[in-house]
Structure 1
Amino acid sequence: MNGEDLREALRREMADAASPPPLSTAAALDAGRRARSRRRTAWACAGSAAVVLAVAGLAAVGTPKGDVYQPAGGPQAIPNPSASDTKKPWPAGPDGQPQEDRTARAGSKYDQGIRLLDEVVSVVPAGYTAPEDPANQPADQRTLRTHQAQFEDTVNGVDLWSYLTSVAVAQGQGTGRVVVEVHDAGNQLPTEPCALARQFWGMQGECQVEAVGAAKVGVVVRPGDDDRLDQWAAYRHPDGVVVFVAQSTKLDETRPELTELPFSVPQLAALAVDERFHLR
């Protein structure tokens, strides 16, 4: 076969091949409309899903592309402006400005804490001393005398406070401590003597009711698993002021313990009723 014969054979093959269907303008437009409709439907579904997920508080939203949007940190609650804007500040200090935290560092409440400290030192029994902190007190040692006035809550529009004092009590080589805590009238602590006693620092133990005149005092004579203190008494005055008085043979792990507790159980109960701790 020469070149001319080859060209003729190719022309016959092309002539015999099936021709493609003619281009239809109407068909092309119809296909385009269907594609656009599919895209609109997909976006509408995605928008509805996003609304449903937002209302339900879910964290992930799918897009038509198959991507997933997930806010950082998981589902986010919508803040309530009224809740944050109306948060009650700490009580005002003597300068008229709100305190930095619950603890009073000046003013009448602070002075009540100092008064309580002085009263506790005054009841240390004979044969014991109440040592003061040295000027060069090591930072890792428990302070020997502490006092604190702390804001607790506002009840019926009245600010309620508590006052706490811890005093080291020494005899010979041993050092223990006496702790007194007083809560303002209006507090929500229990009334029953032993239920009240078991509220002190959340500690439990074997409790008995001691009579001091007409007063009934709850005294935990033996602690449970929590041995921060050895014994404590609790009394609610008729006006609602609550007094806790506690004692321990141990001050901390760095000092030897006392050989015995400073007060007997009746003496501890009597201190809870003592007017010197009845702060108003």
Structure 2
Amino acid sequence: MNGEELREALRTEMAVTTRPPSLSVDAALRTGRRARVRRRAAWAGVGLTAALLAVTGVGAIGAVGAPGSDGFTPAAPGVGPVEPPSVHDTKPAWPTGPDGRPQEDRTARAGTRYDQAVRLLDELVAVVPAGYTLPTDPANPPAGQPLLRDHQAQFDDRVNGVEVWSYTSSLTVQQGQRLGRLLVEVHSAGNPLPTEPCALARQFWGMPGDCEVLTVGATQVGVVVRSGADDRFDQWAAYRHPDGVVVFVAQSRRLGDGRPALTALPFSPRQLATLAGDERFHLR
């Protein structure tokens, strides 16, 4: 076949073949809009299905694992594994009071422990040197003013099944218009306080100071003779009895409420050390 014959054959084929429809912009837009509607419908169906599954089944599965544990996260805030209460979050088991019921908090307000704190205050009153008066509190003391006499028995902890208590009694001493304070604090056996005299003394209310070890008879007592930056007390002595009971005896020239302070402390450092080892403060 020569070139002329080829061109003739092509013209004949084109003449007998149906022409494709002409391109219409409107038709193309309509086709695109229909495709977009179909896609939106499809995605809407997927979203609805996912929501239903989250409510009925899949959401429950997603709530089983903790976030990041196996790829699931809680379906919504508050949905997820319920952790058992921590032992640190449980309410402490307070000691039983004289009525046979647990105390409301750490403080004993009746019973043997309460009586021990009262006794401690009575013993403190008995050792006040001559030349001081002991004022008492009015029936309704002003708010915020420290009590002139106070005592407390407090449950601290259980160590190897044994209750550890602390007893604190404080007393205001007066000379003329000047006021100071004495305090005794006793920790029962089983407490975790240190044994070395000065290390023990510096555990008193966490206050630092210059400490000396004084020998009283056969015992050694730690005495802070000068307080540090924390001057709630000027001096204090600390002694651990052989059975583990710890006694602190502290003194201050002032009450800390702005009233005139004593010109001198009631006890010398050696007298403080002697009181710390005195059997009258050895509560068991």
TM-score normalised by L of structure 1: 0.76
SS of the residue aligned with 1:102?
coil
Deviation sequence 1:194-239 (CA, Å, 0-9, x none) = 0000000011111110111110000111111101000000000001
Q: Residue in 2 aligned with 1:255?
A: 259
Runs of 4+ in structure 1 off by over 4 angstroms are 16-21, 46-53, 84-88
Say if 2:66 is the partner of 1:54.
Answer: yes
Q: Residue in 2 aligned with 1:245?
A: 249
Q: Residue in 2 aligned with 1:131?
A: 135
Change (3 A) 1:82 1:228: closer
- Show the 5 A alignment for 1:23-34: none
| Conserved 8 A contact 1:93-1:107 | yes
- How far apart are residue 172 of structure 1 and its match? 1.8
| Conserved 8 A contact 1:229-1:247 | yes
| Conserved 8 A contact 1:210-1:219 | yes
What amino acid maps onto 2:243 in structure 1? D
Aligned partner of 1:219 among 207, 218, 223: 223
Moved more, 140-149 or 108-117: 140-149
Change (3 A) 1:106 1:55: same
Say if 2:273 is the partner of 1:265.
Answer: no
- How far apart are residue 118 of structure 1 and its match? 0.3
In structure 2, the gaps of 5 or more residues are 1-20, 29-34
| Conserved 8 A contact 1:141-1:254 | no
TM-score normalised by L of structure 2: 0.75
| Conserved 8 A contact 1:160-1:186 | yes
| Conserved 8 A contact 2:238-2:248 | yes
Change (3 A) 1:88 1:140: closer
Change (3 A) 1:246 1:85: closer
Q: Residue in 2 aligned with 1:5?
A: none
Q: Residue in 1 aligned with 2:201?
A: 197
Aligned partner of 1:71 among 58, 77, 83: 77
Change (3 A) 1:236 1:77: farther
Alignment length (residue pairs): 246
Say if 2:88 is the partner of 1:91.
Answer: no
| Conserved 8 A contact 2:107-2:153 | yes
In structure 1, the gaps of 5 or more residues are 1-15, 22-27, 63-68
| Conserved 8 A contact 1:185-1:242 | yes
- How far apart are residue 50 of structure 1 and its match? 4.9
- How far apart are residue 77 of structure 1 and its match? 7.9
Say if 2:178 is the partner of 1:174.
Answer: yes
- How far apart are residue 128 of structure 1 and its match? 1.1
SS of the residue aligned with 1:165?
strand
SS of the residue aligned with 1:146?
strand
What amino acid maps onto 2:271 in structure 1? Q
SS of the residue aligned with 1:210?
strand
What amino acid maps onto 1:100 in structure 2? E
Deviation sequence 1:241-262 (CA, Å, 0-9, x none) = 0000000000122310000000
- How far apart are residue 61 of structure 1 and its match? 5.8
Give me the CA root mean square deviation.
3.7
Q: Residue in 2 aligned with 1:233?
A: 237
Deviation sequence 1:118-149 (CA, Å, 0-9, x none) = 00000000111222112343233211000000
For residues 190 and 88 of structure 2, what CA distance do their matches in structure 1 show? 27
Q: Residue in 2 aligned with 1:103?
A: 107
Give the greater-gyration-radius structure (CA). Answer: 2
Q: Residue in 2 aligned with 1:278?
A: 282
Q: Residue in 1 aligned with 2:18?
A: none
